[in-house]
């Protein structure tokens, strides 16, 4: 496209032949042509006086075509004309000087109409009619591309190509500012895949990545490109809605997404079924900023998870009250530790064949100054979510070990009796768990064989690989390991085999069915047989009636625990309730 001017007077040919008279201007022209940057010079009225070879290549105009024309006619985009006029005016008014400006970014027009991005180092020379304004124009195209690639990496997720958290945060702030954060003007949707970790664990990270890419494609399809859909990392996605119908649109979107996810995803050589938990929150009179909006959407998403996943929850008044309550609980739970408001109750575990107590389970209570004794179901979830379960759990274990040691030294109960302590998933995940158990055993002087740790199925499922490592390390300390609430979670039978477990506790819901209908006993019988086949002993939880106990005996269950023998009681009451075991 570039037109080459003729080498009539001042072209390189004249020089190379060495015959033509070299005018000074020609030599300058030649030097300018060697420059890797475009060079452009005008007089005070913006009329072009110089235009080198590189300028021809960059803008598509030959020197002959443009010399004598004003740059404002063809080179400068219309939207910059006013500013350029102002700047030229100030140059004309300035006293005569030679001045170089710092490089600055500019966009100029190519002959074909598109914009050319250049960085300009300009100089001003002379004054009045002698005034010249020259500039070296450096093509920014390649640097721009590199910068854009960098910016892309900074703002977009590399796996899915979706906006990342940084870009999403910009967009969210913009939407909030635009809607003046008025009630309902912005809605946020948080989507978290359910049990994604299990997919990663079972099928490998590559398949996990394929699933994430497939999910992001379905999200984009459901949005139809109308919303900002971002990946926050991991298996969490965010969608932004703004405008009058923001919340209604978010709800409709979530229904479309859940439907889209109900179809299996082909990943690796398998088909993967996945569900998601979705939380939605929108701006209100109380919530006008990004941070609370995000945490409300998160709270709604967690509520959807608690309901079993695969569902949508919208943050509303009821949830706001619940969140406040949780915050309150968390706040006072902090002080519960400091103010020694936590108590341990103990419930005996009885050997079925001879009715002898072989140990006790330590169960936590909170002696709340206003509410009296609070049971763990009311505050353990908050302790788990806030991380307080780590210091609380350590206190429980220490107190339980100390108590058993005290009984032992007073010669209440035999040395073979064990105390069972419940561990949360968070505790199993905690890097210091093994060291904590070891320290507590050393500190209290309790033999590891007297400590049983109860772990629920979900704790094992969370991160199966690292749970396995932790359990082996605990086993190496010499403690006994039990799986608690068996049958209520997901644990497949393969888990029982893989993990170094000693005891299986059948959940109360199965024990309740005993003796009611034949199927009820069959399930319990199957679990007991399986456990025995794998070398595990079995404790039946929540035994309340003689009838259940008889069934358990018939089915060859090893141990039982429940109100039939004793409710959980404080340590001093246990001695009188169980003279033949713990007591003298």
* Residues of the shown chain interacting with Mg ion in the complex, contacts defined by CB under 5 A: 422, 454, 484-485, 541
- List binders of ligand C2E among 479-518 (CB under 6 A): 484-485
Q: Considering Cα of 381, then 382, then 383, then 386, what sign does the dihedral take?
A: positive
Which of 172, 401 has the CB closer to ligand C2E? 401
- CA distance linking residue 440 with residue 402, whole number of Å: 9
* 3-class state of residue 520 by DSSP: helix
- List binders of ligand C2E among 47-106 (CB under 6 A): none
| Residue 399 engages ligand C2E in binding (rule: CB under 6 A) | no
Which of 129, 377 has the CB closer to Mg ion? 377
Which of 247, 457 has the CB closer to ligand C2E? 457
Span interacting with ligand C2E, options 140-148, 203-211, 305-313, 558-566, rule CB under 6 A: 558-566
Q: How many C-beta atoms lie closer than 10 Å to residue 560's C-beta?
A: 25
231 and 214 Cβ atoms separated by less than 8 Å: no
Q: How many C-beta atoms lie closer than 10 Å to residue 215's C-beta?
A: 24
Distances, alpha carbon 582 to alpha carbons 115, 255, 420, 454, 573, in Å? 89, 57, 14, 21, 11
x/- track of binding to ligand C2E for residues 444-463 (CB under 6 A) = ----------x---------
Which of 292, 489 has the CB closer to ligand C2E? 489
List residues bridging with 277 in a β-sheet: 192
Minimum CB separation of residue 455 from Mg ion in Å reads 9
575 binding partner (options Mg ion, ligand C2E, none; Cβ < 5 to 8 Å by kind): none
Which of 254, 422 has the CB closer to ligand C2E? 422
* 3-class state of residue 126 by DSSP: coil
| Residue 374 engages ligand C2E in binding (rule: CB under 6 A) | no
Which of 71, 349 has the CB closer to Mg ion? 349
| Residue 424 engages ligand C2E in binding (rule: CB under 6 A) | yes
506 — phi, psi (to 5°)?
-75, 130
- CA distance linking residue 122 with residue 97, whole number of Å: 13
- List binders of ligand C2E among 234-253 (CB under 6 A): none
Which of 320, 402 has the CB closer to ligand C2E? 402
Residues 6+ apart with CB under 8 A from 56: 2, 3, 4, 5, 62, 63
Span interacting with ligand C2E, options 258-266, 375-383, 406-414, 518-526, rule CB under 6 A: 375-383
Span interacting with ligand C2E, options 24-32, 238-246, 265-273, 369-377, rule CB under 6 A: 369-377
Q: How many C-beta atoms lie closer than 10 Å to residue 10's C-beta?
A: 20
Minimum CB separation of residue 430 from Mg ion in Å reads 19
562 binding partner (options Mg ion, ligand C2E, none; Cβ < 5 to 8 Å by kind): ligand C2E
* Out of 16, 182, 262, 375, the residue judged to bind ligand C2E by CB under 6 A: 375
Long-range contact set of residues 464-473: C-beta below 8 Å, sequence gap at least 24: 464/198, 464/201, 464/495, 464/498, 465/201, 466/429, 467/428, 467/429, 467/499, 468/498, 468/499, 470/428, 470/433, 470/434, 471/428, 471/499, 471/500, 471/501, 472/500, 473/434
- List binders of ligand C2E among 334-353 (CB under 6 A): 347
* 3-class state of residue 497 by DSSP: helix
- CA distance linking residue 402 with residue 235, whole number of Å: 43
x/- track of binding to ligand C2E for residues 518-547 (CB under 6 A) = -----------------------xxxx---
| Residue 396 engages ligand C2E in binding (rule: CB under 6 A) | yes
Q: Which residue, 62, 130, 65, is CA-closest to 91?
A: 130
571 — phi, psi (to 5°)?
-50, -45
* The pair of three-digit structure tokens given for residue 579, joined into one six-digit string: 């003279």
Span interacting with ligand C2E, options 2-10, 152-160, 173-181, 417-425, rule CB under 6 A: 417-425
Q: CA 421 from chain center: how many Å?
A: 31
Minimum CB separation of residue 553 from Mg ion in Å reads 20
> Over the range 169-185, which residues count as b (16 or more CB within 10 Å of their CB) and which as e?
eebbeebbeebebeebb
399 binding partner (options ligand C2E, Mg ion, none; Cβ < 5 to 8 Å by kind): none
* The pair of three-digit structure tokens given for residue 522, joined into one six-digit string: 């069959």
**Alpha helix (H) residue ranges in 449-502:** 457-462, 464-477, 493-498
Minimum CB separation of residue 404 from Mg ion in Å reads 16
| Residue 376 engages ligand C2E in binding (rule: CB under 6 A) | yes
Minimum CB separation of residue 315 from ligand C2E in Å reads 28
Span interacting with ligand C2E, options 144-152, 370-378, 521-529, 547-555, rule CB under 6 A: 370-378
568 binding partner (options ligand C2E, Mg ion, none; Cβ < 5 to 8 Å by kind): ligand C2E
Which of 332, 347 has the CB closer to ligand C2E? 347
Minimum CB separation of residue 322 from ligand C2E in Å reads 20
Minimum CB separation of residue 308 from ligand C2E in Å reads 18
Strand 115-125 relative to strand 228-233: parallel, antiparallel, unpaired?
Answer: unpaired
List residues bridging with 357 in a β-sheet: 350
Residues at the interface with ligand C2E (CB under 6 A): 347, 363-364, 375-377, 380, 393, 396, 422-424, 454, 484-485, 541-544, 561-563, 568
């Amino acid at each position: 496209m570039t037109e080459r001017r003729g080498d009539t007077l001042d072209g390189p040919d004249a020089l190379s032949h060495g015959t033509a008279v070299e005018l000074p201007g020609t030599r300058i022209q030649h030097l300018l042509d060697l420059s890797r940057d475009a060079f452009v010079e005008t007089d005070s009225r913006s009329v072009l006086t110089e235009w080198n070879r590189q300028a021809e290549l960059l803008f598509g105009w030959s020197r002959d075509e443009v010399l004598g024309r004003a740059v404002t006619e063809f080179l400068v985009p219309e939207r910059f004309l006013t500013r350029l006029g102002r700047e030229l005016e100030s140059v004309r008014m300035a006293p005569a000087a030679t001045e170089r400006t710092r490089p600055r970014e500019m966009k100029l027009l190519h002959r074909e109409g598109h914009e050319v991005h250049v960085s300009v180092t300009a100089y001003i020379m002379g004054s009045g009619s002698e005034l010249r304004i020259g500039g070296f124009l450096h093509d920014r195209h390649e640097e721009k591309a590199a910068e854009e690639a960098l910016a892309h990496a900074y703002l977009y997720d590399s796996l899915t190509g979706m906006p990342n958290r940084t870009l999403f945060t910009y967009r969210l702030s913009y939407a909030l500012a635009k809607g003046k954060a008025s009630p309902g003007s912005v809605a946020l949707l948080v989507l978290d895949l359910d049990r994604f970790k299990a997919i990663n664990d079972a099928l490998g990270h590559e398949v996990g990545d394929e699933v994430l890419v497939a999910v992001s494609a379905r999200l984009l399809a459901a949005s139809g490109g109308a919303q900002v859909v971002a990946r926050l990392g991991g298996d969490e996605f965010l969608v932004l809605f703004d405008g009058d119908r923001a919340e209604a649109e978010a709800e409709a979107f979530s229904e479309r997404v859940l439907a889209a996810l109900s179809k299996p995803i082909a990943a690796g050589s398998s088909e993967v079924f996945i569900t998601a938990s979705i939380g939605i929150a929108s701006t209100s009179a109380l919530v006008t900023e990004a941070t609370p909006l995000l945490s409300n959407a998160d709270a709604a998403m967690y509520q959807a998870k608690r309901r079993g996943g695969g569902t949508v929850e919208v943050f509303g008044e009821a949830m706001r009250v619940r969140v406040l309550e949780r915050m309150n609980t968390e706040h006072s739970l902090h002080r519960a530790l400091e103010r020694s408001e936590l108590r341990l109750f103990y419930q005996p575990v009885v050997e079925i064949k001879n009715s002898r107590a072989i140990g006790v389970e330590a169960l936590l209570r909170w002696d709340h100054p206003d509410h009296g004794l609070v049971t763990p179901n009311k505050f353990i979830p908050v302790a788990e979510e806030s991380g307080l379960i780590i210091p609380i759990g350590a206190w429980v274990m220490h107190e339980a070990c100390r108590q058993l040691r005290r009984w032992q030294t007073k010669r209440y109960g035999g040395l073979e009796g064990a105390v069972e302590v419940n561990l949360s998933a968070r505790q199993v995940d905690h890097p210091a768990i093994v060291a904590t158990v070891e320290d507590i055993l050393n500190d209290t002087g309790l033999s590891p064989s007297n400590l049983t740790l109860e772990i629920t199925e979900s704790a094992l499922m969370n991160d199966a690989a690292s749970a396995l490592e932790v359990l082996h390390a605990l086993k190496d300390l010499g403690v006994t390991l039990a799986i608690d609430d068996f049958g209520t979670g997901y644990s497949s039978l393969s888990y029982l085999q893989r993990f170094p477990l000693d005891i299986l506790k059948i959940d109360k819901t199965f024990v309740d069915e005993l003796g009611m209908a034949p199927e009820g006993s069959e399930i319990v019988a199957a679990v007991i047989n399986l456990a025995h086949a794998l070398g595990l002993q079995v404790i039946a939880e929540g035994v309340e009636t003689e009838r259940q106990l008889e069934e358990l005996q018939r089915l060859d269950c090893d141990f039982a625990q429940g109100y039939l023998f004793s409710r959980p009681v404080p340590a001093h009451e246990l001695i009188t309730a169980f003279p033949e075991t713990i007591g003298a």
